[in-house]
Amino acid sequence: MAEEKKLVEEITSMEEDFAQWYTDVVKKAELVEYSSVRGCMILRPYGYAIWENIQRQLDAEFKKTGVENVYMPMFIPESLLQKEKDHVEGFAPEVAWVTHGGAEPLQERLCVRPTSETLFCEFYSNIIQSYRDLPKLYNQWCSVVRWEKTTRPFLRSMEFLWQEGHTAHATAEEAQERTIQMLNVYADFCENVLAIPMIKGKKSEKEKFAGAKETYTIEALMHDGKALQSGTSHNFGDGFARAFDIQYTDKNNQLQYVHQTSWGMSTRIIGAIIMVHGDNSGLVLPPKIAPVQIMIIPINQKKEGVLDKAYELKDRLGKDFKVKVDDSDKSPGWKFSEQEMRGIPIRIEIGPKDIQANQAVIVRRDTREKIFVSLDEIESKAAEVLEKMQSDMLERARAHRDAHTYVARNMEEFEQIINEKPGFIKAMWCMDEACENTIKEKTGATSRCMPFEQEHIDDHCVCCGKPAKVMAYWGKAY
Amino acid sequence: MAEEKKLVEEITSMEEDFAQWYTDVVKKAELVEYSSVRGCMILRPYGYAIWENIQRQLDAEFKKTGVENVYMPMFIPESLLQKEKDHVEGFAPEVAWVTHGGAEPLQERLCVRPTSETLFCEFYSNIIQSYRDLPKLYNQWCSVVRWEKTTRPFLRSMEFLWQEGHTAHATAEEAQERTIQMLNVYADFCENVLAIPMIKGKKSEKEKFAGAKETYTIEALMHDGKALQSGTSHNFGDGFARAFDIQYTDKNNQLQYVHQTSWGMSTRIIGAIIMVHGDNSGLVLPPKIAPVQIMIIPINQKKEGVLDKAYELKDRLGKDFKVKVDDSDKSPGWKFSEQEMRGIPIRIEIGPKDIQANQAVIVRRDTREKIFVSLDEIESKAAEVLEKMQSDMLERARAHRDAHTYVARNMEEFEQIINEKPGFIKAMWCMDEACENTIKEKTGATSRCMPFEQEHIDDHCVCCGKPAKVMAYWGKAY
Ligand SMILES: [Zn+2]
Ligand SMILES: [Zn+2]
């Protein structure tokens, strides 16, 4: 019992200190461990297994749209990074520089890739000659490095895992279509698999990617009312193509520049899973992404037949689900806490009395609802509960987001909301960067996106009062 | 026809210049492309797809033995790398050093991991307390960097992809068992999936891994008679544990050092696939690793019904195999060359006459055997041919290796074989490093391994004539 208390006591409650709650969960659920390399985290087996599940499912979606995987070098020569002016300005301040190989100084410094546009551009300029070579739809799964001052597990770290897709197209229309297509792949994946509803929209000029013509984003609302940019898709137009001379001969034998896109999603999204679904007992993982979906916990496991029954259930359920039996010599209470901390979607309790009654107890992680089921129909009942939990989690996250989305018509309202009600603010905007800066200075909120789903809230910019051009989402963000 | 000639003409023949043949195949089969980063290659979709297949199948084998995946930082602080003396001596001369983050010089240099023993040791020292925490069976899939002077695609490059497994155990016996277990996983995978037979054995003191107590290896023979070290498994004993203070309390509450292993296989193995199975028309891929197993090539594809039939076959065969239809407007001859260059195991030719006769022609890539099959039983026939091809390839590779394995009883024989008959040499050895050095100086051959399957060839060392302790394999190696 002392032990049981300890496990729960070690998590700070969300309401008391959300940031500390997050750090506690990440550590106690054994997702990450710190290393002696400043700002770099170790992904432990449980954290990495979540990433493997994300990777496998997202990769399959990419491939359905014709995307192929490649692997590019992790180093970028300084001269290559400098070829596109906006791009180098955006990234040079935050890259790690390799200056020596063994004992020898290098003739040219190499940066560790913060992103690989420049490498893909050089590659494309070598392999694209004719319209027959287009489109190129390449992606890579790798790690990238950004020299951040302050870091937090998953949300911001010096090195992180991600995928970066890079495509080249014959026409501007095709590039724009691909940009939106991949944004939709991300949004659908987040909703259907991670149970996180997303706002889809365009970034402002100020917030767009270094070198992009346009950046699109999916934005999610965390439990504490802060926004998290969860995936981005960029249309580069022919800007990089001109800087790197990526040309093809069209059907009329004319030289043309290609049009490019890139799009990425990273381990950051694991931070979203934690902060959207977690509670004061720890993680809550959507069934479709959970490394373990069912934990069978034998009660009175030393009684004859109990463990055998638990293993039998595991074999039966193992055909359709990822199942484990906790047959350790810890107390059931401790096992419950541990399964809750790790966010395992359902636990199945089975003891001597249950066996006698030919039943078991299914307990949902999210609602803690207890469901007594006959052992004869445990497979179908488990499937039902997991499916219900998956859709309930999405609905709950959507309800939370909608309840924390506010409308502001002037700065007074805006500031009041920011100070009293953390969440998204919908407000009209003249699209002038000056207003964006003013809002940030006064409130700490940034423009999250100009959503595809526009609403007409008012005629005037929330900040300057001039005629508004667009409705935007605003909020404090990770 | 001119085009067709061109594709084949561009490969140098193996007999003329094996190294050039290799380079040509790697490039023409579109496995890799060079980048402006010296010694770093780009893995193109076809090359990366082979790696994905290797990764998926090998990872499943690892997991069957209880291994879990993690991800460690790509940087190692200089002070951490220096903790184990032999290890740092082995690797420091060939690492890339990061000295600046953005514009700021770092207080301590970071090396880009050449291998991650030191990081895993630090991690293990943090998370292992009790015998209950053991064993730890972790693995990661990542890229590593070694500052090589000369590089060749797959065989030796500055950056390469690999997996590195790192385990910690309570006893020396358990660590030794795991070392051999993983060596067997590699050898079985190479034989069963890649159709490459392996010699399993122990490395000499001179050839072992920096910091290891013992290194075990699997060695393959390439078509040109050179050896390729294809995977290694190291037993560290408690050497790293002592250097990094990784201790646990045993059941009697006594502090004990853990015993560790590590084991790795890299994209180098793709070089082995090329050099063991390839021929003068290009790659020959074992069916179990081929990204495309069947290429359907329609003949007279403009004739009504031909393409429809080709797609119908694709749908039928696609249930069991990875199938593509080459419906491009290239000539069939060009398509044949391309399919051969890429080593696609079988092609299926189908034209108007075949359709009328309710048949198709299956052509094996390795033997070029043509097999006429009824369309009614095309699934079972394709399965049969692929299976036969897979086992024939292994048998052919084994026969080639055995035919190129020689016995030497003295240095005269040794030198004669080296000069006239490229291949493995089996010879007795006193286990003195002086003899290993002499042999290398005189012949260029190195000790490949002391095989588990020992033979008594002679009483005396092939080099010094003193009493022999062991039979070893020798050869020139990549
Ligand atoms: Zn304004
Ligand atoms: Zn000797």
Residues whose Cβ atom is located within 5 A of ion ligand 1:
A 430, 432, 435, 461, 463-464
What is the least distance, in Å, from the CA of B109 to any CA of chain A?
10
pLDDT digits (tens, 9 = 90+) for A437-463: 999 999 999 999 999 999 999 999 999
Rg (CA), chain B: 25
Partners of A35 on chain B (C-beta within 8 Å) are 72-73, 119, 122-123
Question: In chain B, which residues have their Cβ closer than 8 Å to the Cβ of A102?
Answer: 92-95, 147
Cis bond before residue B135 (omega within 30° of 0): yes
A36/B122 touch (CB, cutoff 8 Å), yes or no: yes
DSSP character string of A133-159: G--EEEEEEEEEE---SS-BTTTB-SE
8 A C-beta contact, residue A395 and residue A168: no
* Structure confidence at residue A6 (pLDDT): 55
Residue-wise pLDDT tens digits, A378-414: 999 999 999 999 999 999 999 999 999 999 999 999 9
Write out pLDDT tens, residues A291-331: 999 999 999 999 999 999 999 999 999 999 999 999 999 99
**How far apart are the CA of B412 and the centre of ligand 2, in A?**
14
- What is the reported pLDDT for B175? 98
- Asked if A100 and B96 come within 8 Å (Cβ–Cβ), the reply is yes
3-state SS record for chain B: CHHHHHHHHCCCCCCCCHHHHHHHHHHHCCCEEECCCCCCEEECHHHHHHHHHHHHHHHHHHHHCCCEECECCCEEEHHHHCCCHHHHHHHHHHCEEEEEECCEEEEEEEEECCCCHHHHHHHHHHHCCEHHHCCEEEEEEEEEECCCCCCECCCECCEEEEEEEEEEECCHHHHHHHHHHHHHHHHHHHHHCCCCCCEEEECCCCCCCCCCCEEEEEEEECCCCCEEEEEEEEEEECHHHHHHCCEEECCCCCEEECEEEEEEEECHHHHHHHHHHCECCECCCCCCCCCCCEEEEECCCCCCCHHHHHHHHHHHHCCCCCEEECCCCCCHHHHHHHHHHCCCCEEEEECHHHHHCCEEEEEECCCCCEEEEEHHHHHHHHHHHHHHHHHHHHHHHHHHHHHCEEECCCHHHHHHHHHHCCCEEEEEECCCHHHHHHHHHHHCCEEEEEECCCCCCCCECCCCCCECCEEEEEECEC
pLDDT tens sequence for chain B (478 residues): 444 455 556 799 999 999 999 999 999 999 999 998 888 999 999 999 999 999 999 999 999 999 999 999 999 999 999 998 888 888 888 999 999 999 999 999 999 999 999 999 999 999 999 999 999 999 999 999 999 888 899 999 999 999 999 999 999 999 999 999 999 999 999 999 999 999 999 999 999 998 999 999 999 999 999 999 999 999 999 999 999 999 999 999 999 999 999 999 999 999 999 999 999 999 999 999 999 999 999 999 999 999 999 999 999 999 999 999 999 999 999 999 999 999 999 999 999 999 999 999 999 999 999 999 999 999 999 999 999 999 999 999 999 999 999 999 999 999 999 999 999 999 999 999 999 999 999 999 999 999 999 999 999 999 999 999 999 999 999 9
- Mean pLDDT (whole number) for A98-108: 94
Give the ligand at the shortest distance from the Cα of B468.
2
Q: How confident is the model at residue A148 (pLDDT cuts 50, 70, 90)?
A: confident
Integer Cα distance of B427 and B412 in angstroms: 12
Q: Cβ B138–A49 below 8 Å, yes or no?
A: no
Contact yes or no for A98 and B102 at CB 8 A: no
- Taking CA atoms, what residue in B is nearest to A107? B38
Q: How confident is the model at residue B90, as a pLDDT? A: 87
Pick the residue from chain A with its C-alpha nearest to B69.
Answer: A45
pTM, two decimal places: 0.96
What does residue B391 show for φ and ψ, rounded to 5 degrees? -75, -35
Interval A4-24: pLDDT, tens = 455 556 799 999 999 999 999
What's the confidence (pLDDT) of residue A76?
Answer: 96
Domains of chain B, CATH where assigned: 8-277 (3.30.930.10), 294-386 (3.40.50.800), 405-475 (3.30.110.30)
Nearest-Cα distance to chain B for A38, in Å, is: 9
**Beta carbons of B49 and A33 less than 8 Å apart:** no
Contact between residue A365 and residue A340 where contact means Cβ atoms under 8 Å apart:
yes
A99 closest CB neighbour out of B72, B77, B100? B100
What is the predicted pLDDT for the residue at A7? 57
Q: Check whether A1 has a pLDDT greater than 50.
A: no
Nearest CA to CA, how far is B136 from chain A (Å)? 11
- Residue of chain B with shortest Cα separation from A43: B71
- Closest residue in chain B to residue A44, using alpha carbons only: B70
Helix, coil or strand: residue A23? helix
Closest C-alpha to A475, from A454, A449, A453, A455: A449
> Are A48 and B69 a contacting pair at CB < 8 A?
yes
A298–chain B nearest CA distance, Å: 20
In this prediction, residue B2 carries a pLDDT of: 45
Q: How far does A128 lie from chain B, in Å, by closest CA?
A: 13
Whole-number Å distance, alpha carbon B367 to ligand 2 midpoint, is 44
Question: What pLDDT is recorded for position A98?
Answer: 97
Mean pLDDT of A102-110: 94
Is A159's CB within 8 Å of B73's CB?
yes
* Residue A92 and residue A118 in contact, taking contact as beta carbons nearer than 8 Å: no
Going from the Cα of B443 to the center of ligand 2, the distance in angstroms, rounded, reads 15
Per CB-CB distance under 8 Å, the chain B contacts of A76 are 37
Cβ–Cβ gap A161/B103 under 8 Å? no
Tell me whether residues B42 and A73 touch, CB distance under 8 A.
Answer: yes
Partners of B116 on chain A (C-beta within 8 Å) are none
